[in-house]
Amino acid sequence: MDHIFTDGVGSITVVNGNVRIELRQIVRDPANAGKLTSEPTTTLIMPLSSLKDATIKLANTMEKIQSDEKAKAQMEEQEDDEDALTQL
């Protein structure tokens, strides 16, 4: 199995029942080393019928990440409150 790193998504098109998602990566501009540019790396092609399931899975993953971050922030806030109380 191959692993592909992407910094983002470029164009998304639908052709003949397939969705084509251009994956992009940030690289240094060869003409100007101090400048970053985005270039396509590969295209993810999947049947249109699979797009809904993939989108739902991505959305669920984002919700889980946000929930975990919120819980972590609440725990840290509680620990800070407990530390403040012990210093009284």
Give the pair of three-digit tokens for residue 40: 């396509």
Closest listed residue to residue 22, CA positions, set 32, 31, 14: 14
State residue 84's pLDDT score.
64
**Whole-prediction pTM value?**
0.70
HSE, side-chain direction, 13 A CA sphere, residue 67: 6
When pLDDT is cut at 50, 70 and 90, the band that residue 78 belongs to is confident
- State yes or no: pLDDT of 20 exceeds 90: yes
State residue 88's pLDDT score.
66
Contact 45, 22 (CB under 8 A): no
Higher pLDDT, 16 or 33: 16
CA distances from 2 to 5, 26, 38 (A): 10, 20, 21
